[in-house]
């Protein structure tokens, strides 16, 4: 496993649509391992393949630090409710902004063995699923921010 360089906002690779994964390969297995390692190292709760420069529909999410989800070719099936809160992105370090997302999300995806499964989440997990899936279509949360982006340091001093 190895850490990958995280691409930052403004990099063209973050504005492009990712391609579906047709089959799992040793190279993609390595990519998934590297994405998990890179996410944990950066204290993130999710990471999408374009953030490490790979235009494939692959996402990793772990909102608790002990429950890693690998989502390949994920599709949202159902959403409900609403939550409004601060959101950040490893591709825009040190910043956060207020984004409204569904409070519940149900999606289907393939795991790293290309077995289809269903992932349901509420609150932070629902937010992370929506955020990461947006990356696969070249979208970043900044497009949805209500008001201004803030510096994380200012957020902490407010609390
Ligand atoms: Ni992000």
Question: Whose CA is closest to 76, among 145, 146, 128, 129?
Answer: 129
Residue ranges for the chain with pLDDT beneath 50: none
Domain segments of the chain: what residues? Answer: 12-158
Architecture of domain 12-158: Alpha-Beta Complex (3.90)
Among all residues, which ones are annotated catalytic?
Answer: 132
pLDDT digits (tens, 9 = 90+) for 101-122: 999 999 999 999 999 999 999 9
User: Measured between alpha carbons, how far is 141 from 66 in angstroms, rounded to an integer?
Assistant: 25
Ion ligand 1: residues, CB within 5 A, are 89
- The pTM assigned to this predicted structure is 0.96
Alpha-carbon radius of gyration of the chain: 15
Q: How far is the CA of 90 from the centre of ligand 1 (A)?
A: 6
């Amino acid at each position: 496993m190895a850490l990958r360089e995280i691409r930052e906002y403004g990099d063209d690779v973050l504005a492009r649509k990712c391609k579906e994964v047709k089959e799992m390969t040793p190279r993609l297995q390595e990519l998934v391992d590297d994405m998990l390692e890179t996410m944990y190292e950066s204290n993130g709760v999710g990471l999408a393949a374009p953030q490490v420069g790979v235009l494939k529909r692959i996402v990793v999410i772990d909102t608790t630090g002990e429950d890693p989800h690998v989502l390949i070719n994920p599709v949202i099936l159902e959403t409900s409710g609403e939550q409004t809160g601060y959101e950040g992105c490893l591709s825009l370090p040190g910043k956060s902004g207020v984004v409204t997302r569904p409070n519940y999300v149900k999606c289907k995806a393939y795991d790293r063995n290309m077995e289809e499964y269903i992932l349901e989440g509420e609150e932070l997990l629902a937010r992370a699923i929506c955020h990461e899936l947006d990356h696969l279509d070249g979208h970043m949360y900044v497009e949805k921010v209500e008001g201004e982006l803030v510096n994380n340091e200012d957020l902490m001093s407010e609390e």
